[in-house]
């Protein structure tokens, strides 16, 4: 579309007197941009662009502010984010202890009818005063008549009370499932479920269609307020989320472009069932499209349950959880690749990343396909030998620089300084020509792309410790991670990700000139306007 001819005399909207960073191949920076029919018409000097505005059109004086392409989060969980906003915010500053969590659960129990679900999201046991997970007995003491399910910030660990365990059919005698486990003490199940052990609890705690629609409306509003015009939804594509999104789409309320992954994890065959339909990556429209076929291969970086080649520094007996044998992983990826899907895998630890690289390579060797654009989600512990495989195969790593700020202090304990120095090696891969895409994994970390960009520039932990200065990126590189590189990761770089004539008019106006700010100030830079297809989706009052 970028080369299509347009009538540049019918601009509906002109933004002028600013710094419009196109993030195109030429590195264009212009004073003004003209938009018409939902597309970018022209960029240039204010004097040349302002006359393109049609009678009755709208002109905005930027007063030196920065304009960027609409920001893209290449790995997020919109339903979980929205449901988190409806539940108890366990990341709130006052949630510093299990006692504080208990008080919040007690207050919810007093407000809700007995038997209704109490949900909370975002606690980090390593930051609680007790330095442990809350457990079923902590929750039973304050909400014995409600099922309670609290999700750790990583999304890979949940805590359930006795009522929730009963509804899920989990007892003290329930064995640990493959790829998961329960915390236990004195023969009792403590209600702390890791990875695949969450499955039965997630099934019984699934929200209603109405709850999900409400959650999605909140999420879309919040995402626009952070400058996002597109996300890659990392799944799962099951339950009420997709029907709710389709309802919003039909009602004209879906103003966020969503590239939606299907996934395979232990205990669910959702993604494998999609392979039987004949559908492929790309099915849908510009607002809601099928994305990658995604396989979960290991746990979380902060749990920590990531599959590592060397033992954890914090526990010499632990190397995390690897869900599949190499043969199982190879077979699933080869099948999806042959069926025409873009393939990706959740892989945090270096042992998991190595398995993913091998699976991608085997699939392409068995069924050569041009421009398959394989991905790896997270790709955290990725030392130079694994980087070589990523470069060789043209894999797009989808990384979360904000993890270093959110969890970096724990990384230093769990993995040790040497490994942390090269976690999320954005700079090394970008400078070898790899199109690293940026993301938040929200609600795991702060949804703001500008926060992620600041983290990629700084690479510091919450306490201020450095996490590999050699992997800091430039501002230009960081901006591209959350725009054109993320668009490339969904085969959409000809439609969005940069501001070029013919592309969709998705853009964001920042409150200041981003180039004049120190890295630390970028995370709190306000979004003044978010525009999707030429229409204002968010305006700061």
Sorted by where each begins, the domain ranges of the chain are: 1-69+497-541, 82-204, 261-495
Dihedral angle sign, alpha carbons of residues 124, 344, 205, 251: positive
Range in 8-17, 112-121, 256-265, 476-485 with the lowest mean pLDDT: 8-17
Residues in a beta bridge with 192: 159
Give the number of other Cβ atoms within 10 Å of residue 408's Cβ: 27
For the chain, percent of residues with pLDDT exceeding 90: 91
Give which of 529, 452, 503, 527 is closest to 25, Cα–Cα: 503
DSSP letter for 325, please: -
pLDDT classification of 541: cutoffs 50, 70, 90: confident
Which residues touch 455 (CB under 8 Å, ≥6 apart)?
Answer: 401, 402, 404, 405, 523
Q: Is 468's pLDDT higher than 50?
A: yes
Range in 2-11, 37-46, 355-364 with the lowest mean pLDDT: 2-11
Task: Note whether 345 and 373 are within 8 A (CB).
Answer: no
Q: Calculate the alpha carbon distances from 220 to 215, 229, 255, 403 in Å.
A: 9, 9, 7, 22
Give me the helices (H) in 130-288, please.
Answer: 136-140, 162-167, 199-204, 209-225, 241-250, 270-274
- Over residues 270-281, mean pLDDT: 91
Q: Calculate the alpha carbon distances from 51 to 4, 8, 10, 46, 353 in Å.
A: 21, 10, 10, 9, 53
- Mention the CATH class of domain 1-69+497-541: mainly beta
- Over residues 192-209, mean pLDDT: 92
Task: Note whether 90 and 128 are within 8 A (CB).
Answer: no
Task: Note whether 377 and 347 are within 8 A (CB).
Answer: yes
Distance, CA of 8 to CA of 38 (rounded, Å): 12
Distance, CA of 220 to CA of 524 (rounded, Å): 20
- Over residues 36-64, mean pLDDT: 97
- Over residues 425-441, mean pLDDT: 98
Tokens for 331, please give them.
């077979």
DSSP letter for 128, please: S
Residue-wise pLDDT for 56-65, tens only, equals 999 999 999 9
Residue-wise pLDDT for 279-322, tens only, equals 999 999 999 999 999 999 999 998 889 999 999 999 999 999 99
Task: Note whether 478 and 68 are within 8 A (CB).
Answer: no
Distance, CA of 208 to CA of 241 (rounded, Å): 9
Strands 148-152 and 88-89: unpaired
Distance, CA of 323 to CA of 265 (rounded, Å): 8
| Averaged pLDDT of the chain | 95
pLDDT score recorded for residue 293: 96
Task: Looking at the structure, give the CATH architecture of the domain made up of residues 82-204.
Answer: Roll (3.10)
- Over residues 477-485, mean pLDDT: 98
SS (H, E, C) 342-394: CEEEEECCHHHHHHHHHHHHHHHHHCCCCCCCCEEEECCECCHHHHHHHHHHC
pLDDT classification of 2: cutoffs 50, 70, 90: very low
Which residues touch 427 (CB under 8 Å, ≥6 apart)?
Answer: 470, 471, 472, 473, 477
Q: Calculate the alpha carbon distances from 492 to 364, 367, 488 in Å.
A: 22, 24, 6
DSSP letter for 286, please: S
- Over residues 23-38, mean pLDDT: 98
Strands 118-123 and 88-89: parallel
pLDDT score recorded for residue 10: 86
pLDDT score recorded for residue 9: 60
Residue-wise pLDDT for 143-172, tens only, equals 999 999 999 988 889 999 999 999 999 999
Superfamily per CATH, domain 261-495: Metal-dependent hydrolases (3.20.20.140)
Tokens for 278, please give them.
């004949």
Residue 43: alpha-carbon gap to chain centroid: 31
Distance, CA of 215 to CA of 503 (rounded, Å): 30
Distance, CA of 356 to CA of 12 (rounded, Å): 47
Supply φ then ψ for residue 261, to 5 degrees: -80, 150
Residues in a beta bridge with 466: 460
- Over residues 399-409, mean pLDDT: 96
Q: Is 452's pLDDT higher than 80?
A: yes
Range in 33-37, 192-196, 445-449, 478-482 with the lowest mean pLDDT: 192-196
- Over residues 343-350, mean pLDDT: 98
């Amino acid at each position: 579309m970028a080369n299509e001819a347009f009538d540049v005399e019918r601009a509906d909207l002109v933004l002028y007197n600013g710094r419009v960073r196109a993030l195109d191949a030429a590195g264009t920076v212009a004073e003004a941009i003209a938009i018409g029919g939902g597309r970018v018409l022209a960029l240039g000097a204010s004097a040349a662009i302002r006359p393109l505005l049609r009678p009755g059109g709208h002109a905005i004086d930027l007063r030196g502010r920065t304009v960027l392409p609409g920001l893209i989060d290449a790995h997020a969980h919109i339903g979980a984010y929205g449901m988190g906003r409806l539940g108890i915010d366990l990341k709130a500053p006052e949630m510093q202890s299990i006692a504080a969590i208990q008080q919040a659960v007690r207050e919810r129990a007093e407000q809700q009818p007995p038997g209704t679900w109490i949900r909370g999201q975002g606690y980090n046991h390593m930051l609680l005063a007790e330095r442990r997970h809350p457990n079923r007995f902590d929750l039973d003491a304050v909400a014995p008549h409600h099922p309670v399910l609290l999700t750790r910030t990583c999304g890979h660990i949940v805590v359930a009370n006795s009522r929730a365990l009963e509804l899920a059919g989990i007892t003290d005698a329930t064995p640990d499932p493959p790829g998961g486990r329960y915390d236990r003490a004195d023969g009792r199940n403590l209600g702390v479920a890791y990875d695949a052990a969450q499955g039965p609890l997630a099934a019984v705690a699934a929200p209603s269609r109405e709850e999900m629609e409400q959650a999605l409306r909140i999420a879309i509003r919040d995402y626009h307020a952070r400058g996002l015009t597109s996300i890659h939804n990392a799944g799962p594509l099951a339950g009420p989320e997709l029907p709710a999104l389709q309802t919003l789409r039909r009602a004209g309320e879906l103003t966020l472009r969503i590239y939606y992954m299907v996934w395979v994890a232990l205990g669910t065959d959702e993604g494998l069932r999609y392979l039987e339909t004949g559908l492929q990556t790309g099915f849908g429209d510009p607002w809601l499209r099928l994305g990658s076929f995604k396989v979960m291969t290991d746990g979380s970086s902060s749990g920590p349950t990531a599959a590592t080649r060397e033992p954890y520094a914090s526990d010499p007996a632990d190397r995390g959880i690897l869900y599949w044998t190499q043969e199982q992983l190879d077979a699933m990826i080869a099948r999806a690749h042959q069926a025409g899907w873009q393939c990706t895998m959740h892989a945090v630890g270096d042992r998991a990343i190595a398995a993913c690289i091998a699976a991608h390579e085997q699939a392409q060797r068995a069924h050569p396909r041009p421009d398959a654009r394989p991905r790896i989600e997270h790709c955290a512990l990725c030392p130079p030998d694994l980087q070589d495989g990523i470069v060789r195969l043209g894999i797009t790593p989808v990384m979360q620089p904000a993890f270093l700020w959110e969890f970096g202090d724990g990384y230093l304990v769990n993995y040790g300084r040497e490994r942390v120095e090269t976690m999320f090696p954005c700079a090394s891969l970008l400078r070898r020509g790899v199109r690293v895409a940026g993301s938040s994994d929200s609600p795991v970390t702060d949804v703001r792309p500008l926060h992620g960009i600041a983290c990629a520039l700084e690479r510091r932990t919450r306490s201020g410790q450095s996490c590999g200065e050699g992997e800091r990126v430039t501002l230009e590189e960081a901006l591209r991670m959350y725009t054109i590189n993320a668009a490339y990761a969904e085969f959409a770089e000809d439609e969005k990700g940069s501001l070029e004539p013919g592309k969709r008019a998705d853009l964001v106006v920042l409150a200041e000139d981003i180039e004049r700010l120190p890295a630390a100030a970028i995370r709190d830079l306000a979004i003044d306007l978010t525009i999707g297809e030429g229409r204002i989706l968010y305006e700061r009052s």
